[in-house]
Amino acid sequence: MSPALPSRDPAPPDGALSQLALASLTQRDFGVYLHVPFCAARCGYCDFNTYTPSELGGLDIDSYLKSMVREIACASRVLAGQAPAVRTVFVGGGTPTMLGSDQLAQLVAAVEKEFGFADDVEITTEANPESVDETSLRQLRAAGFNRISLGMQSARASVLAMLERKHRPGRALAAVAEARNAGFEHINLDLIYGAAAETEDDWLASLDAVTGAGVDHVSAYALIVEDGTALARKVARGQVAAPDDDVLADRYLLAEDKLTGAGMQWYEVSNWAMSDAARCRHNELYWRGQNWWGFGPGAHSHVGGVRWWNVKHPRRYSALLADGSSPAAGRETLSEIDQRLEEIMLGMRMRQGLPLSRVGSAAPQLMADGLLDPTAFAEGRAALTLRGRLLADSVIRDLS
């Protein structure tokens, strides 16, 4: 979740949505995000809305769970039975596996009870490799989770240390094997590249590790120095070098090369999958402007052109729900122009891109510059080339 919440309109205390927004429920897919704002320790680069036990000021996990269930009930009231069956559930954090498997199961069950699940529902949880074992993974699988995303980050101890990750390099791969044994159909490994201590050799080792692990999905993210993080302070003080864009570009090209070589295909600038079925449908739902409700402190939601976000601190979140109020801190109603901008901003990052009719007149020039794919262009679509992926933001600025 983003560190600084946008501020626009105040959200109504009951969380009510307009008829117009509600009308979109039957037109679009519906997903659920569940935010678990707990971590054992904060990593230096992380700006997510998460809290270590000492930062929670005595809030316990039970009251968090109780509040989550209250928000699920609140959502049910607001959506007034018009929400379709849930197609995707994604539990993110923080560290979801700071909760016990039974507690995660409880949350999923609460969602299913209120909204029902589609037959092909995708239920994902993020997990830190060190916080799961074969038993807990079996329990999760039994609770309905069918996809797991493991935060591996790197195969090298030196890089993990730099990122302040606690697990040992081999642990992520062991967790993959355990997850496969537990019956998970889809397994993702997250990688982060571009940390100051990372060499090209380190990065190749990480790529070799993930391609050898037999997972069907890899997310590879360039390290971002987010404002307000410990990493940003170190960079500002000159203790750590900021990631170099040219190095990041080289790393990205290596990732594309290795992952494609292992039979994967990119479907979003930072995501590769073995097959269409292996894509993360929950994330695709974000990128295609579908509806979702994000439960938990700081979680963002979107229904029919209305975006809102919850208060960030778990205590405040719990207090509002205990009072019978919506935990939303603010909301914005997207104008036509906003929606169009978002469509381009999100859609162009995906492999299929957008129909030319949805993007601006700069497309031919961008194709001539080698940033848009000529074949797709001939078929009436604006889609990024490999070089275009690396310059996606400037392509988006030109097209929007």
Interface contacts to other proteins, rule CB under 8 A: 1-2, 4, 6, 33, 221-224, 245-246, 248-249, 252, 269-270, 283, 286-287, 292, 294, 298-300, 302, 307, 309, 332, 338, 341-342, 345-346, 349, 369, 371, 389-394, 396-397, 400
Cβ distance to other proteins smaller for residue 157 or 248: 248
Minimum CB separation of residue 163 from other proteins in Å reads 14
* Cα distances (Å, whole numbers) of residue 78 to 167, 203, 303, 332: 41, 47, 11, 17
Taking phi over 0 as left and psi of -120 to 50 as alpha, with beta for the rest, 11 belongs to beta
Beta strands in 10-56, from DSSP E residues, in sequence order? 30-36
- In 3-state terms, what secondary structure has residue 218? strand
Minimum CB separation of residue 124 from other proteins in Å reads 12
Cβ distance to other proteins smaller for residue 172 or 396: 396
Minimum CB separation of residue 368 from other proteins in Å reads 10
Half-sphere exposure of 153 (CA within 13 A, CB side): 28
In whole angstroms, what is the distance from residue 384 CA to residue 348 CA? 7
Minimum CB separation of residue 288 from other proteins in Å reads 12
Cβ distance to other proteins smaller for residue 1 or 213: 1
Minimum CB separation of residue 344 from other proteins in Å reads 9
In one-letter notation, the amino acid at residue 174 is A
Cβ distance to other proteins smaller for residue 129 or 294: 294
The set of residues, in sequence order, having a beta carbon less than 8 Å from that of 323 and lying 6+ positions away, is none
Minimum CB separation of residue 133 from other proteins in Å reads 27
In whole angstroms, what is the distance from residue 68 CA to residue 297 CA? 9
Residue 259 near residue 272 (C-beta atoms within 8 A): yes
Minimum CB separation of residue 35 from other proteins in Å reads 8
Cβ distance to other proteins smaller for residue 68 or 137: 68
Q: How far is CA 26 from the centre of its chain?
A: 24
Cβ distance to other proteins smaller for residue 74 or 220: 220
The set of residues, in sequence order, having a beta carbon less than 8 Å from that of 54 and lying 6+ positions away, is none
Cβ distance to other proteins smaller for residue 66 or 397: 397
**What count of other Cβ atoms lies within 10 Å of the Cβ of residue 108?**
22
Minimum CB separation of residue 324 from other proteins in Å reads 25
Cβ distance to other proteins smaller for residue 205 or 362: 362
In whole angstroms, what is the distance from residue 389 CA to residue 95 CA? 30
Minimum CB separation of residue 170 from other proteins in Å reads 25
In whole angstroms, what is the distance from residue 99 CA to residue 43 CA? 19
In whole angstroms, what is the distance from residue 299 CA to residue 312 CA? 8
Q: Which helix (H) or strand (E) holds 271?
A: strand 271-273
**Both structure tokens of 375:** 């074949």
Minimum CB separation of residue 176 from other proteins in Å reads 22
Cβ distance to other proteins smaller for residue 174 or 254: 254
Residue 200 near residue 254 (C-beta atoms within 8 A): yes
The set of residues, in sequence order, having a beta carbon less than 8 Å from that of 41 and lying 6+ positions away, is 52, 164, 166
Q: At what angle do helices 336-347 and 392-399 cross, to 10 degrees?
A: 150
Cβ distance to other proteins smaller for residue 141 or 307: 307
